[in-house]
Amino acid sequence: MTVNDITKVLEELAPLAHAEDFDNVGLLVGNPNMEVNGVLVTLDTLENVVDEAIEKNCNLIVSFHPIIFKGLKKLTGSNYVERVVIKAIANNIAIYSMHTALDNSKMGVNAKICEVLGLENPQILIPKSSTIKKLTTYAPLAEVDKIKEALFNAGAGEIGKYSHCSYSLEGVGSFKPENGANPAVGNVGEVHFEKETQINVILSFEKEKQVLKALLEAHPYEEVAYEIFTIENTNQDIGMGMIGNLPSEMDEIDFLLLVKKRMNASVVRHSKLLGKKVKKVAVLGGSGAFAIGAAMKAGADVFVTSDIKYHEFYQAENQMVIADIGHFETEQFTKDLLVDYLTKKIPNFAVRLSESITNPIKYL
């Protein structure tokens, strides 16, 4: 398998188009056509991780955090980022990063936290906006089924757990082929009226190109009439954070101790305890202060995240408990998730879990 083959599998889990605009995801170092000997999965790509990849004969590193975040103007080895890139290139090792693409996946970082904490029926906390598009096109009656099937096969018409979703209306279309046209029906120079079906389907924004390609290939007309636009419906399959329910209510302190144990946290920093039972829990891996309001609005009793600043704890407003367990701690199981995923998708391929501990924060 090539680097490109494996990254295509990873994009089924976390399409790069779902990453945040500020992020730097995808293949950061290496040739996409290089044949892969083995994959090493890590949270961060540091020098010791590259050394581990060399030792384990893995020439593709799949990393959650991108080692290159801002543009590099030189490669002199003056800092850890440059040294990692130089070492990877020197040893012909490719580096691929997923970061916020995986954060926004319904089966990604936050789904894994929910699994570890035992939360039931998890839902996306902050659905990503402007991710759903609607396609309307018009087809002669005899071609409708063929065109619909082509659109569905390209990924259109998926709503939650349902596929092949569409809505159709019958009417009459008109057109006049001018000189040089090669109409599938009608004659050049004559106005033609054709019984047609209006086909309406929705699609995820990153599938627009492939869906339009399928439409144009399947449609019999020389010039295909269609409209495509972004709609404001919320998309519960893409977004930051998740919220779910505990199987049964717990006391606040008992729940925080559970979080500390299951998430292997050295310490839990939290806002004022409210003396309420905990049932609904919101989670967000990594820096989650921006989601405090969303967690409160969703009715969370506790919000588990990291990197909360002093004044941000006040935003709990005595309505919920904010629990900061550390950045690494919220994301540490991400590499287990990726190893499990790749092992299931490509079972006869060498996928290794990095043993390197990359957490830069230590506690006394």
Extract the annotated binding site for a divalent metal cation: 65, 103, 327, 331
Question: β-pairing, 302-306 with 277-287?
Answer: parallel
φ, ψ at 27 (rounded to 5°): -80, 110
Of 205, 202, 196, 123, residue with least CA distance to 157: 202
Q: In three state form, how does the secondary structure of the chain look?
A: CEHHHHHHHHHHHCCHHHCCCCCCCEEEECCCCCECCCEEEECCCCHHHHHHHHHCCCCEEEECCCCCCCCCCCCCCCCHHHHHHHHHHHCCCEEEECHHHHHCECCCHHHHHHHHHCCEEEEEEEECCCCEEEEEEEEEHHHHHHHHHHHHHCCCCCECCECCCCEEEEEEEEECCCCCCCCCCCCCCCCEEEEEEEEEEEEEHHHHHHHHHHHHHHCCCCCCCEEEEEECCCCCCEEEEEEEEEEEEEEHHHHHHHHHHHCCCCCCEECCCCCCEEEEEEEEEEECHHHHHHHHHCCCCEEEEECCCHHHHHHHCCCCEEEECCHHHHHCCHHHHHHHHHHHHCCCCCEEECCCCCCCCCCC
End-to-end CA distance of the chain: 45
- For residues 288 and 307, the answer to whether their CB atoms sit within 8 Å is yes
Please enumerate, by residue number, every residue annotated as part of a binding site. Answer: 65, 103, 327, 331
